[in-house]
Amino acid sequence: MMVRLGQNFLADPNLLDAIVRDAELEPGDVVLEVGPGEAVLTERLAEAARHVHAVEIDRGLEQALAAVAARPNVDLHWADAMRLDFGSLEPAPTKVVANLPYAVATPLILRTIEQLPTVGSWTVMVQREIADRLRAAPGSRTYGSPSVLAQIACEVRLLRAVDPAVFRPRPRVKSAILGLRRTGPGADPATRDLVRAAFAHRRKSLPRSLEHGRPGGLAAARAALAELGLPQDARAESLSPEDFTLLSAKLSAS
Protein backbone atom coordinates (compact mmCIF):
# COMPACT_ATOMS: atom_id res chain seq x y z
CA MET A 1 0.00 0.00 0.00
CA MET A 2 1.17 3.54 -0.74
CA VAL A 3 2.41 5.67 2.13
CA ARG A 4 0.80 9.07 1.76
CA LEU A 5 2.75 12.15 2.78
CA GLY A 6 5.27 10.05 4.67
CA GLN A 7 2.70 8.51 7.00
CA ASN A 8 2.98 4.92 8.25
CA PHE A 9 -0.32 3.26 9.10
CA LEU A 10 -0.89 1.15 12.20
CA ALA A 11 -1.83 -2.43 11.41
CA ASP A 12 -1.95 -4.11 14.84
CA PRO A 13 -5.43 -4.16 16.45
CA ASN A 14 -3.95 -5.04 19.84
CA LEU A 15 -1.80 -1.91 19.84
CA LEU A 16 -4.74 0.21 18.70
CA ASP A 17 -6.76 -1.09 21.63
CA ALA A 18 -3.81 -0.41 23.95
CA ILE A 19 -3.63 3.22 22.80
CA VAL A 20 -7.30 3.71 23.63
CA ARG A 21 -6.76 2.12 27.05
CA ASP A 22 -3.71 4.30 27.68
CA ALA A 23 -5.78 7.38 26.85
CA GLU A 24 -8.24 6.51 29.64
CA LEU A 25 -11.12 7.96 27.68
CA GLU A 26 -14.35 8.80 29.46
CA PRO A 27 -17.79 9.04 27.83
CA GLY A 28 -17.74 12.84 28.00
CA ASP A 29 -14.32 13.30 26.39
CA VAL A 30 -13.78 15.19 23.15
CA VAL A 31 -10.77 13.80 21.28
CA LEU A 32 -8.50 15.52 18.79
CA GLU A 33 -6.85 13.07 16.41
CA VAL A 34 -4.30 14.36 13.90
CA GLY A 35 -3.49 12.06 10.98
CA PRO A 36 -6.36 9.54 11.10
CA GLY A 37 -5.00 7.75 8.03
CA GLU A 38 -7.32 4.82 7.33
CA ALA A 39 -9.49 5.52 10.41
CA VAL A 40 -8.56 2.33 12.29
CA LEU A 41 -7.86 4.34 15.46
CA THR A 42 -10.62 6.87 14.74
CA GLU A 43 -13.26 4.14 14.83
CA ARG A 44 -12.14 3.05 18.28
CA LEU A 45 -12.01 6.63 19.54
CA ALA A 46 -15.53 7.32 18.27
CA GLU A 47 -16.81 4.28 20.19
CA ALA A 48 -15.24 5.46 23.46
CA ALA A 49 -15.59 9.26 23.40
CA ARG A 50 -18.41 11.76 23.10
CA HIS A 51 -16.89 13.44 20.07
CA VAL A 52 -13.85 13.12 17.80
CA HIS A 53 -12.19 15.84 15.73
CA ALA A 54 -10.07 14.11 13.09
CA VAL A 55 -7.69 16.35 11.15
CA GLU A 56 -6.33 15.03 7.86
CA ILE A 57 -4.40 16.89 5.16
CA ASP A 58 -4.38 14.18 2.47
CA ARG A 59 -7.51 14.17 0.29
CA GLY A 60 -6.29 10.90 -1.18
CA LEU A 61 -7.65 9.26 1.98
CA GLU A 62 -11.18 10.55 1.44
CA GLN A 63 -12.58 7.14 0.50
CA ALA A 64 -10.88 5.40 3.41
CA LEU A 65 -12.32 7.96 5.83
CA ALA A 66 -15.82 8.16 4.36
CA ALA A 67 -17.45 5.65 6.72
CA VAL A 68 -16.06 7.10 9.93
CA ALA A 69 -16.78 10.65 8.74
CA ALA A 70 -20.45 9.69 8.48
CA ARG A 71 -20.62 9.00 12.21
CA PRO A 72 -22.66 11.64 14.03
CA ASN A 73 -19.97 12.16 16.68
CA VAL A 74 -17.04 12.59 14.27
CA ASP A 75 -16.01 15.83 12.57
CA LEU A 76 -13.47 15.32 9.79
CA HIS A 77 -11.42 18.44 9.13
CA TRP A 78 -9.50 18.53 5.83
CA ALA A 79 -6.68 20.81 6.88
CA ASP A 80 -3.01 21.20 7.69
CA ALA A 81 -2.85 20.69 11.45
CA MET A 82 0.06 23.12 11.68
CA ARG A 83 -2.18 25.88 10.31
CA LEU A 84 -5.59 24.93 11.66
CA ASP A 85 -6.99 27.23 14.33
CA PHE A 86 -7.45 24.66 17.10
CA GLY A 87 -9.31 27.22 19.20
CA SER A 88 -12.14 27.15 16.65
CA LEU A 89 -12.96 23.48 17.25
CA GLU A 90 -16.38 22.91 18.81
CA PRO A 91 -16.83 21.16 21.12
CA ALA A 92 -13.39 21.96 22.53
CA PRO A 93 -11.05 18.94 22.72
CA THR A 94 -10.23 17.52 26.15
CA LYS A 95 -7.70 14.90 25.01
CA VAL A 96 -5.32 14.38 22.10
CA VAL A 97 -5.00 10.77 20.92
CA ALA A 98 -3.18 10.10 17.66
CA ASN A 99 -0.59 8.32 15.59
CA LEU A 100 1.08 11.61 14.76
CA PRO A 101 2.80 12.30 11.45
CA TYR A 102 6.41 12.05 12.62
CA ALA A 103 7.69 14.99 10.58
CA VAL A 104 5.57 17.47 12.56
CA ALA A 105 5.05 15.62 15.85
CA THR A 106 7.13 17.91 18.08
CA PRO A 107 5.79 21.29 16.86
CA LEU A 108 2.28 19.84 16.77
CA ILE A 109 2.40 18.71 20.39
CA LEU A 110 3.76 22.09 21.47
CA ARG A 111 1.14 23.89 19.39
CA THR A 112 -1.73 21.99 20.98
CA ILE A 113 -0.31 22.61 24.47
CA GLU A 114 -0.31 26.33 23.69
CA GLN A 115 -3.60 26.63 21.81
CA LEU A 116 -5.79 24.08 23.59
CA PRO A 117 -5.88 24.83 27.34
CA THR A 118 -8.93 22.55 27.55
CA VAL A 119 -6.78 19.50 26.74
CA GLY A 120 -5.70 17.64 29.87
CA SER A 121 -3.77 14.75 28.34
CA TRP A 122 -2.01 13.52 25.21
CA THR A 123 -1.57 9.88 24.20
CA VAL A 124 0.43 9.97 21.00
CA MET A 125 2.50 7.68 18.84
CA VAL A 126 5.78 9.37 17.96
CA GLN A 127 9.28 8.51 16.85
CA ARG A 128 11.22 7.13 19.83
CA GLU A 129 13.80 9.89 19.45
CA ILE A 130 11.08 12.51 19.89
CA ALA A 131 9.70 10.73 22.94
CA ASP A 132 13.15 10.70 24.53
CA ARG A 133 13.70 14.37 23.71
CA LEU A 134 10.41 15.61 25.13
CA ARG A 135 10.89 13.77 28.43
CA ALA A 136 14.64 14.46 28.73
CA ALA A 137 15.97 15.76 32.04
CA PRO A 138 18.18 18.84 32.48
CA GLY A 139 21.83 18.12 31.75
CA SER A 140 21.15 15.32 29.27
CA ARG A 141 22.29 15.43 25.66
CA THR A 142 18.74 15.38 24.32
CA TYR A 143 17.40 18.08 26.66
CA GLY A 144 16.47 21.17 24.67
CA SER A 145 13.82 23.79 24.07
CA PRO A 146 11.08 21.22 23.17
CA SER A 147 11.79 19.39 26.45
CA VAL A 148 11.45 22.61 28.45
CA LEU A 149 8.33 23.86 26.68
CA ALA A 150 6.55 20.51 27.03
CA GLN A 151 7.54 20.06 30.67
CA ILE A 152 6.56 23.58 31.72
CA ALA A 153 2.97 22.54 31.05
CA CYS A 154 2.98 18.75 31.36
CA GLU A 155 4.30 15.65 33.05
CA VAL A 156 5.80 13.65 30.19
CA ARG A 157 6.08 9.85 30.32
CA LEU A 158 7.04 7.03 27.99
CA LEU A 159 4.05 4.69 28.04
CA ARG A 160 5.38 1.90 25.83
CA ALA A 161 7.93 1.15 23.14
CA VAL A 162 6.49 0.07 19.80
CA ASP A 163 7.77 -2.62 17.44
CA PRO A 164 8.21 -1.34 13.85
CA ALA A 165 6.42 -4.48 12.66
CA VAL A 166 3.02 -3.04 13.69
CA PHE A 167 3.14 -0.49 10.84
CA ARG A 168 2.44 -0.71 7.11
CA PRO A 169 4.96 -0.24 5.61
CA ARG A 170 7.55 -0.95 8.28
CA PRO A 171 9.36 2.30 9.20
CA ARG A 172 13.12 2.57 9.53
CA VAL A 173 12.88 4.32 12.89
CA LYS A 174 11.79 3.15 16.34
CA SER A 175 8.49 4.38 17.74
CA ALA A 176 6.90 4.89 21.13
CA ILE A 177 3.63 5.88 22.73
CA LEU A 178 4.15 9.06 24.70
CA GLY A 179 1.85 10.27 27.45
CA LEU A 180 1.57 13.87 28.57
CA ARG A 181 -0.58 15.01 31.48
CA ARG A 182 -1.20 18.71 31.86
CA THR A 183 0.01 20.14 35.14
CA GLY A 184 -0.28 23.84 34.26
CA PRO A 185 -0.68 26.35 31.46
CA GLY A 186 1.72 26.45 28.55
CA ALA A 187 4.64 28.86 28.53
CA ASP A 188 3.70 32.45 27.80
CA PRO A 189 5.16 34.12 24.68
CA ALA A 190 8.03 35.75 26.60
CA THR A 191 9.06 32.44 28.13
CA ARG A 192 8.82 30.62 24.79
CA ASP A 193 11.06 33.21 23.19
CA LEU A 194 13.51 33.01 26.10
CA VAL A 195 13.76 29.22 25.96
CA ARG A 196 14.32 29.11 22.20
CA ALA A 197 16.94 31.86 22.34
CA ALA A 198 18.71 30.19 25.27
CA PHE A 199 19.19 26.94 23.32
CA ALA A 200 20.05 28.62 20.02
CA HIS A 201 23.79 28.54 20.81
CA ARG A 202 24.31 25.49 23.02
CA ARG A 203 28.10 25.90 23.26
CA LYS A 204 27.73 29.33 24.81
CA SER A 205 26.58 30.28 28.28
CA LEU A 206 22.91 31.14 28.53
CA PRO A 207 23.51 34.92 28.90
CA ARG A 208 25.80 34.97 25.87
CA SER A 209 23.33 32.93 23.85
CA LEU A 210 20.60 35.42 24.74
CA GLU A 211 22.90 38.29 23.81
CA HIS A 212 22.84 37.13 20.18
CA GLY A 213 19.10 37.71 19.96
CA ARG A 214 18.82 40.44 22.58
CA PRO A 215 21.81 42.77 22.28
CA GLY A 216 22.47 44.61 25.52
CA GLY A 217 20.83 41.97 27.71
CA LEU A 218 23.98 40.20 28.89
CA ALA A 219 24.23 41.96 32.27
CA ALA A 220 20.51 41.59 32.97
CA ALA A 221 20.60 37.86 32.26
CA ARG A 222 23.61 37.35 34.53
CA ALA A 223 22.00 39.37 37.31
CA ALA A 224 18.72 37.41 37.02
CA LEU A 225 20.57 34.08 37.18
CA ALA A 226 22.44 35.25 40.28
CA GLU A 227 19.19 36.30 41.96
CA LEU A 228 17.85 32.80 41.35
CA GLY A 229 20.96 31.27 42.93
CA LEU A 230 22.20 29.95 39.60
CA PRO A 231 25.71 30.37 38.12
CA GLN A 232 26.04 33.50 36.00
CA ASP A 233 27.71 31.44 33.27
CA ALA A 234 25.11 28.64 33.38
CA ARG A 235 24.26 26.94 30.11
CA ALA A 236 20.69 26.47 29.00
CA GLU A 237 20.76 22.70 29.42
CA SER A 238 21.49 23.04 33.15
CA LEU A 239 18.26 24.92 33.91
CA SER A 240 15.04 23.11 34.77
CA PRO A 241 11.71 24.09 33.21
CA GLU A 242 10.82 25.82 36.49
CA ASP A 243 14.12 27.74 36.36
CA PHE A 244 13.21 29.05 32.91
CA THR A 245 9.78 30.19 34.12
CA LEU A 246 11.36 32.05 37.05
CA LEU A 247 14.11 33.51 34.87
CA SER A 248 11.56 34.78 32.36
CA ALA A 249 9.63 36.50 35.13
CA LYS A 250 12.81 38.12 36.44
CA LEU A 251 13.83 39.39 33.01
CA SER A 252 10.33 40.68 32.24
CA ALA A 253 10.31 42.63 35.50
CA SER A 254 13.75 44.18 34.95
CATH, residue 140: 3.40.50.150
Note the pLDDT tens digit of each residue in 63-121: 999 999 999 999 999 999 999 999 999 999 999 999 998 899 999 999 999 999 999 99
Domain boundary (132, 160, 182) is at: 182
Q: Which residue, 182, 210, 233, sits at the end of a domain?
A: 182
The CA distance from 16 to 14, in Å, is 5
For residue 142, how far is the Cα from the chain centroid?
16
CA 243 to chain centre: 21
The domain of 222 spans 189-253
Which pLDDT value is given to residue 88?
95
Question: Which pLDDT belongs to residue 10?
Answer: 74
pLDDT at 86 (0 to 100): 96
CA dist 155 and 146 (Å) reads 13
Both 106 and 219 in a single domain? no
Percent of the chain scoring above 70 in pLDDT: 97
End of a domain among 182, 197, 222? Answer: 182
Please tell me whether residues 10 and 102 are part of one structural domain. Answer: yes
What average pLDDT does the segment 119-141 reach? 96
DSSP code of residue 165: G
CATH code, domain carrying 201: 1.10.8.100
Q: Are residues 227 and 135 in the same domain?
A: no
Domain co-membership, 86 together with 37? yes
> Cα 202–82–130 angle (5° rounding)?
45
Query: Which of 85-94, 162-171, 219-228 is the least confident region?
Result: 162-171
pLDDT band for position 253 (50/70/90)?
Answer: confident
| 9/105 same-domain check | yes
- Residue 163: per-residue pLDDT: 85
The reported pLDDT for the residue numbered 98 is 97
